[in-house]
Structure 1
Amino acid sequence: MTNPALLPPVPVPDPDTEQYWEGLRNGKLMLCRCDDTGKWIHPPLERSRFTGGPVHFEEVSGNGSIFSFIVVRQALVPGRVPPFVVGLVELDEQPGLRINAVIDVDPGDVRIGQRVRLRIADLGDSGYRIPEFVVDTKL
């Protein structure tokens, strides 16, 4: 039996995030979008932050650039061996549409503005999948 203290934290979906997690389980990054304006919203909300109106989920490309990052040098998250990079990625779909995720890049080589693409990774044996990004010189 695996020690629970050694497992990564597992998401607890709620009505606002259930479609996000289901999309990842199916290999897609699905983000919330305002029905009235077409603007993307992340993290997901029950109602649009722009109009208060309805929202729906749509798939995004997963392409973007590094907006900000930190290098984690201490063993804080079970299942992650430091050092590793956690970044704020601005997705191509909309200026200001940003998502936090691990970025698979050597900590000494990471740069603001680097182009990245989505990789969906298993979250241990939890059955959940999470977004991660890899540097992509072709984008």
Structure 2
Amino acid sequence: MTSPRPLPQLNELNRFFWTGGADGKLRMQRCQDCGHWLHPPGVNCPECMSRNIAPQELSGVGTIAALTLNYQPWFPGVEVPYAIAIVNLDEQTALNLTTNIVGVPPESVRIGQRVRVVFEQVEDVYLPLFTPITN
């Protein structure tokens, strides 16, 4: 499957993040010494400087902290408008992921809305996107 979305370049540091969606789970690095979550992936913990970090599963649930609707067709094949959001993940204050909100009309997306991760597979990459949680 091809995608009009730009795809990341995989390397040993980020491969777990971009391929982890194969089983429907969002993963980020976590310090095994102090418990701090890291994103984007790095080689040491920014809190305690430990190099004892490893990918761990997250709930994949968060809250939209910032939002913009894009009406400019920057990428051929990507339908406009689309919602770009910063999602604050539940596991840690300021553990944020910039992503697209999908599955609903972009105009219905709101700051403060609760969302959950869904993945779009493109080749071996699983793009983490989010969709609103409905009651």
TM-score by length of 2: 0.88
Whole-Å separation in 2 of the counterparts to 1:39 and 1:99? 15
Pick from 128, 132, 136 the counterpart of residue 129 of structure 2: 132
Counterpart for residue 86 of structure 2: 88
| Deviation readout 1:69-101 (Å, 9 max, x if unpaired) | 111101112442000001000111111111011
Whole-Å separation in 2 of the counterparts to 1:111 and 1:29? 22
Q: After the TM superposition, which parts of structure 1 deviate over 3 Å for at least 4 consecutive aligned residues?
A: none
Whole-Å separation in 1 of the counterparts to 2:29 and 2:8? 17
Whole-Å separation in 2 of the counterparts to 1:35 and 1:77? 39
8 Å Cα contact 2:17/2:28 also seen in 1: yes
Counterpart for residue 21 of structure 2: 24
Please tell me the residue identity of whatever aligns with 2:5.
Answer: P
RMSD of aligned residue pairs (Cα, Å): 1.8
Whole-Å separation in 1 of the counterparts to 2:68 and 2:32? 34
Please tell me the residue identity of whatever aligns with 1:87.
Answer: A
Distance 1:107 1:62, change over 3 A: same
Q: What is the aligned residue count?
A: 132
Identity among equivalent positions (%) equals 33
**Residue 41 (structure 1) aligned with residue 51 (structure 2):** no
TM-score by length of 1: 0.86
Q: Where does structure 1 lack aligned partners over 5 or more consecutive residues? A: none
Please tell me the residue identity of whatever aligns with 1:103.
Answer: I
Structure 1 position 106, deviation (Å): 2.0
Please tell me the residue identity of whatever aligns with 1:135.
Answer: P
Q: How does 1:28-107 map to 2 (within 5 A)?
A: 28-53=25-50, 54-104=52-102, 105-107=104-106
Counterpart for residue 115 of structure 1: 114
Please tell me the residue identity of whatever aligns with 1:69.
Answer: L
Structure 1 position 26, deviation (Å): 3.5
Structure 1 position 10, deviation (Å): 2.0
**Residue 13 (structure 1) aligned with residue 17 (structure 2):** no
Q: Where does structure 2 lack aligned partners over 5 or more consecutive residues? A: none
